[in-house]
Amino acid sequence: MPLSTAFSVSADRPAANQIVERLRTAIVRLELPPGQMLSESDLAERFGVSRTPVREALIKLAQQGFIEVRPQRGTFITKIRPKELLEARFIREAIETAGIERIVGRLDQATISKCRLLLEDQKAAASAEDVYAFHRADDAFHRALAEATGFERLSSLIEGEKALMDRVRILSLKTTPPFKRLISQHKAILDAVVAGDRQKALSHMRKHLRELLTTLPQASRDHPQFFTETIDPSSDWAETDSGAPL
Amino acid sequence: MPLSTAFSVSADRPAANQIVERLRTAIVRLELPPGQMLSESDLAERFGVSRTPVREALIKLAQQGFIEVRPQRGTFITKIRPKELLEARFIREAIETAGIERIVGRLDQATISKCRLLLEDQKAAASAEDVYAFHRADDAFHRALAEATGFERLSSLIEGEKALMDRVRILSLKTTPPFKRLISQHKAILDAVVAGDRQKALSHMRKHLRELLTTLPQASRDHPQFFTETIDPSSDWAETDSGAPL
DNA sequence: TCTTGTGCACTAGTATACAAGTCGAAAGAG
DNA sequence: CTCTTTCGACTTGTATACTAGTGCACAAGA
């Protein structure tokens, strides 16, 4: 979403929700760069609505950590905070491995088929070099596994943590997309879960998650304006996982 | 907060935030009963402000899961959903045990002192039979351990999950407060963490968390109007933990 | 040149008015 | 009595106007 683009909202559902979705997508895709200031009145004009629904959308996005409202000063796209991403990874490892524990060897056939289909989607997106399609399929794969636990909020929680990491993921997918590696990791996780091999499933999931931010130091140096700080790859920034053995 | 009470907000900080805090406290303490309808205009009148800040407060509370907005119909305090509580417990077990893994044997002296002080607070509150004071000290204890991981969002995440369980906790604390049991569990967790006994610390934390909802079936039968469904204690409702051994 | 003040253009926060949908009670027809 | 219809009193959603605070440009003074 270039900063000058005009959008319109449909009348059949609340404008605020539509604005949330559009802005969130634009933020995650870095079309709205971190640090960028947002003007409520400007957004209202571009969306063709009044300030009220825009404000309500911004409140929601602020609670999700995507924007920061500084009273009487302005509203800004949050810069990427490496420490926050490491936390998100930690939290995801804790939750997603707990989820694995719960579903290993107990996946129903429908979920297995769904996951295998999503793996095909990922392969297709990788061949087409469609970063966003791959991204969507990746999300859906993790969500499918989370939903298989029978816990509804689990997937939305994971999605929230994922979203925080998405901007860096987009950066790295654009430069050096490790499509094949990610796909094979997903396949390994799924196979182990289906086979009921608890240790293997856990270890694959842990490895998968711990690798997600390997591009963080490089990205923070390539785009320092997007980050609150740059990360020195030689430092101990990676020593933030659970410490559990793979 | 009885339904007819009038409140006022101070002018030195955003009204919406003050309203969020007041309503949240009232909801958690069941002063605003689950299922109760809230009127924006009524709240505005009682707080002495216009509908706008009230609406913004309600949006935030809705995102936190405390209220539900049904367009053109009304805004309601959410009823307690047992399944949601079991999820919250599952998530807490995943996250808090991961936190324990990270801090076991590595607590600094300041944190240790702080935690011991909070244990004293809990004892004092138990003696005084002050449910809310105990509740606050309990929150602070878990938060202190979470913050010791060095991860800032961890404690706020835990607090969110705790808050969902708080209404049931308040119910059980009011009828049969297991103060002493909770305190000794806290002490056992802390001692094991300080001593660096990983297995013991994990097992104590797991046990502590899994016991938190033992009063859920009783509470759901005593106050069915607060719940979306009642829980049969003989059912397998408890079989929702991670399955990890104690 | 540097400092200081002053005003203007911006910001978010709040108040108020109106629009659009929902539900129930009362009125009227059979 | 029963069913139907209509009207009105609610609800949340949105638009608009106003308030109060921030910061920057720019001019006036040393």
Q: Are A213 and A62 in contact (CB under 8 A)?
A: no
pLDDT above 60: residue A1: no
B16: tokens are 């919406």
Q: Write down the pLDDT at residue B231.
A: 84
The whole-number Å distance from B72's CA to D7's C1' is 18
pLDDT above 80: residue A3: no
The span from the CA of B18 to the CA of B7, in Å, is 11
A183: tokens are 């796909």
A62 in contact with B, Cβ within 8 Å: no
Task: Note the pLDDT tens digit of each residue in A82-98.
Answer: 999 999 999 999 999 99
- Regions of chain B where pLDDT drops below 50: none
Percent of chain A with pLDDT over 70: 92
Helix, strand, coil distribution of chain A in percent, nearest 5: 65, 5, 30
B53: tokens are 């800040």
Q: Write down the pLDDT at residue B235.
A: 62
pLDDT grade for A5, boundaries at 50, 70 and 90: low
Q: Write down the pLDDT at residue A149.
A: 96
Q: Write down the pLDDT at residue A242.
A: 60
Q: Are B99 and B147 in contact (CB under 8 A)?
A: no
Q: Write down the pLDDT at residue A86.
A: 94
User: What is the arithmetic mean of pLDDT over A217-238?
Assistant: 84
Specify whether the backbone of A243 is left (phi greater than 0), alpha (psi in -120 to 50) or beta.
Answer: left
pLDDT above 70: residue A4: no
Task: Note the pLDDT tens digit of each residue in A59-83.
Answer: 999 999 999 999 999 999 999 999 9
- Asked whether the beta carbons of residue B71 and residue A152 sit closer than 8 angstroms, the reply is no
Domains of chain A: 15-77 (1.10.10.10), 82-226 (1.20.120.530)
- Write out chain B residues lying below 8 Å of A242, CB-based: 98, 101-102
Q: Write down the pLDDT at residue B42.
A: 95
A238 in contact with B, Cβ within 8 Å: no
The whole-number Å distance from B207's CA to D24's C1' is 59
Chain B closest-CA separation from residue A130 CA (Å) = 32
pLDDT above 80: residue A173: no
